[in-house]
Structure 1
């Protein structure tokens, strides 16, 4: 259980099995779109904000009991992702991610981690997560490398589907993975669903977004659902209840007598 608490502190995702609105599977079409410039400009646009504070309700299903958590997530654009988590009235742990890596501790088992993004990639059964992709994942923006030449874009009743025409090959630290990729977007270019299937191992990662609302210069998802399928299946859901642009302090220090968790 402790690895999921640590991951929540560093990844900042999560939620519960019940989103407020279901994400419908798009109606498929085989008709590609001839002019894709506007679409790719929209989905690759960098987020326009300085900082955002997010209040979330977090639920995790792993087969073991983990109580629903209240999370405060603070993101400084391109600089850091900070999280503090509470169960009922008890502080559970804290974590911070920067472009250099991730750090986090959890109080139940009195453990902490210090790592590059290997820990997070191992948890999600992928090999491409870095700080920018983590930030984009939390904000409901395209977080995987998308090159127009490797995908076909089609339009459907719900919006758009972007599917890889060949396996997406990603190399990171001598680890090479290949993914079959499908992404669904609304008619307004909001990211609704990402599905990645690792073709060699069969591991699958699916993330769905719902209930976008405007926050200053961008739209933010109120519900994010992550399903990780490998040797076991885990489900993480986060319900974002409030967005705030005010600055806040982000203290982080590991308490005394905590044990470091080795990254494998």
Structure 2
């Protein structure tokens, strides 16, 4: 990985002979540890034939708050373990409620921990050796629960060279829902392994949403503020 504070996580020699315990030990070793994170994020959002690109500021206090702000403060988002809030000055609307908005957007039930894990390249649900089987699949390690949950199926693919996630996939067959997150590139920031490029594909029936995310200029453990106040006179978004 080198000693630089910012570097691309490069793959060493792939080893497909390790035990499940060894793979998970290496995987958990690279779980990022920090107090706060700040980054510039390029987001490409596509739904059907519609596509839009934004560059936003991301701030995070681990396990407490995720804060996103667009250029000129036109759109601001604050996610905490208790609620999801955002406002949009382009159409004078706001949302102040639970995780149903993000769950509908990505087609699967979400909470704060799952959203944070998704952004950091961590498994949405913790992988442990007692409840998961491991096989070698397409030159990588595939983990899936020994007993898939009744409502959805879960799959994780771990890179055999750097032991970070290549992909995590959640399928809800009866609901025709599918969430697929690919981690295309990682970077080393202050000895922490963090995603640099990821792609989220959410399918629900005939609807497809694709979100491509690139994290740049990441800094860790700085003192950050998370200002948020819904402007007066804005109209609430009703999901019902």
User: Contact 1:166/1:180 (CA < 8 Å) preserved in 2?
Assistant: no
Distance 1:252 1:64, change over 3 A: farther
2:168 paired residue number? 194
User: Contact 1:162/1:184 (CA < 8 Å) preserved in 2?
Assistant: yes
User: Contact 2:197/2:212 (CA < 8 Å) preserved in 1?
Assistant: yes
Task: Report how far residue 147 of structure 1 moved.
Answer: 4.7
Mapping 1:1-264, distance limit 5 Å: 35-44=19-28, 47-63=32-48, 65-86=50-71, 90-127=72-109, 129-155=110-136, 158-169=139-150, 178-187=151-160, 188-231=162-205, 232-245=207-220, 246-264=222-240
Identify unmatched segments of 5+ residues in structure 1: 1-28, 170-177
User: Contact 2:95/2:237 (CA < 8 Å) preserved in 1?
Assistant: yes
Task: Report how far residue 218 of structure 1 moved.
Answer: 1.7
Residues paired across the two proteins, number: 221
User: Contact 1:43/1:142 (CA < 8 Å) preserved in 2?
Assistant: no
TM-score if structure 1 supplies the norm length? 0.76
Identify unmatched segments of 5+ residues in structure 2: 1-15
**Root-mean-square deviation (CA), in Å?**
2.3
Task: Report how far residue 118 of structure 1 moved.
Answer: 2.2
1:173 paired residue number? none
2:11 paired residue number? none
1:175 paired residue number? none
Deviations 1:31-64 (A, max 9, x none): 9x7x422333444566310111011111111136
CA distance in 2 between partners of 1:250 and 1:64 (Å): 34
Deviations 1:171-223 (A, max 9, x none): xxxxxxx1122211112220111111102112111000121111124201110
Distance 1:149 1:179, change over 3 A: farther
CA distance in 2 between partners of 1:179 and 1:151 (Å): 15
* Secondary structure at the counterpart of residue 134 of structure 2: strand
CA distance in 2 between partners of 1:200 and 1:145 (Å): 24
Of the structure 1 ranges 107-116 and 60-69, higher mean CA displacement relative to structure 2 is found in: 60-69
CA distance in 1 between partners of 2:173 and 2:34 (Å): 36
Deviations 1:74-113 (A, max 9, x none): 1111111000023xxx443001111111111112221111
User: Contact 1:58/1:69 (CA < 8 Å) preserved in 2?
Assistant: yes
